[in-house]
Amino acid sequence: MHLDLHRHLEGSHSPAALAKVAREFNLRSPLLFDDATQRFRDEQSIAAQVTLTEPSDDSSRFYRCIVQARQAYVSVEAIAALSVLAFREAAEDTDGFELRLSLFSMVRTLLEHQRLAWRDVPPVVFAERWAQPILLAVLAARDQVAKETGTPMVVRLGLSRTFESEPHYRALADMVVEHAPRLVGLDVLGIVPPPDAEPMPEGLVAVLERLRPHLPDLTIHAGEFSGRRARARKPGHPRAPGESGHHPRGVPIEQPPLDSHGRGPAGEGPRQRAVARAAARARALRAGQ
Ligand SMILES: [Zn+2]
């Protein structure tokens, strides 16, 4: 049985799905449409723009691929279509999976594509008028594909350390509370400049505290881009990945077992906790949660 407990929606748009949605929604951005020939790009041409050709410690190269794929986020309908395809592909790849949703960045991207300055959008409007339809579209896509395939699938809400606006995140969190029963938990993610991703912004900690009574399960991304030396620090070291006063006991610190060159392993303690947590979640998935 293959369970994938760590997928991101934004990283799950295949070249085939992007090509299909581009034609369906007449998306003529450079990633998807070739102005010179006036034709939609094929899968191979899109793949060359959204795929890393070699391992790299430079997180910006990876992130550029994610940003490229976001060119298709032009409307809630396009996001809904991409979501259905992403859930279907994940269901084909696995016997069950967890997909993470970076709602804030999806809303920001959609607003940019609508030529709106997101910072000028009042937080409550940002949350209710823009974020909520995206969240509902993704959850509807999940329900549809779960029904089609019978594959267990859960959705986790990602909140980024980049934390661009406290009021917008707070309004987003207030909106999410209402939909919490349809989500499985929270995730802290986001690439911030070195040397340290910790401590988290105080405002983000407050948002997590606001949401955890409704979504107690919390995962924290740590160490993916911090290099071998940082990841070899023992848990408890003040600059060990994911270590800060804000992390309650029992929260899994997610680290890749190997670095991008295939070297490893990462620190034992957090990894063991993450694996134990993954196993528990796998059992929950099997139980049909
Ligand atoms: Zn991740």
pLDDT tier at 267 (50, 70, 90 boundaries)? very low
Three-state secondary structure call for residue 94: coil
Each domain of the chain, given as residue ranges in start order, spans: 3-10+72-286
pLDDT tier at 53 (50, 70, 90 boundaries)? confident
Ligand 1: centre distance to CA 48 (Å): 22
- Mark out the alpha helices in 94-159 (DSSP H runs): 103-113, 123-125, 132-149
Distance of CA 9 to the CA centre of its chain: 6
Q: Distance (Å, rounded) from C-alpha 173 to C-alpha 75?
A: 22
Q: Please compute Rg for the chain using Cα positions.
A: 19
DSSP-assigned letter for residue 258: S
Note whether 7 and 289 are within 8 A (CB). no
Place of tokens 């008028």: 129
State both tokens at 77: 């309908």
Ligand 1: centre distance to CA 224 (Å): 9
Q: Distance (Å, rounded) from C-alpha 236 to C-alpha 242?
A: 10
Note whether 153 and 99 are within 8 A (CB). yes
Length of the chain: 289
Ligand 1: centre distance to CA 5 (Å): 10
Ligand 1: centre distance to CA 113 (Å): 25
Ligand 1: centre distance to CA 7 (Å): 7
Ligand 1: centre distance to CA 149 (Å): 24
Ligand 1: centre distance to CA 8 (Å): 6
pLDDT tier at 282 (50, 70, 90 boundaries)? low
Q: pLDDT of 192-234, one tens digit each?
A: 766 666 678 899 999 999 999 999 999 988 756 555 555 555 5
Ligand 1: centre distance to CA 24 (Å): 29
Ligand 1: centre distance to CA 133 (Å): 23
Return the closest-CA partner of residue 260 out of 82, 54, 98. Answer: 54
Output phi, psi for 201, to 5 deg. -55, 140
The pLDDT of residue 222: 72
- pLDDT (average), residues 86-90: 97
For residue 27, give every residue at least 6 positions away whose Cβ sits within 8 Å of its Cβ, in sequence order, or none. 21, 33, 71, 72, 74, 78
Query: What percent of the chain is predicted at pLDDT more than 70?
Result: 75
Amino acid at 273: R
Ligand 1: centre distance to CA 250 (Å): 19
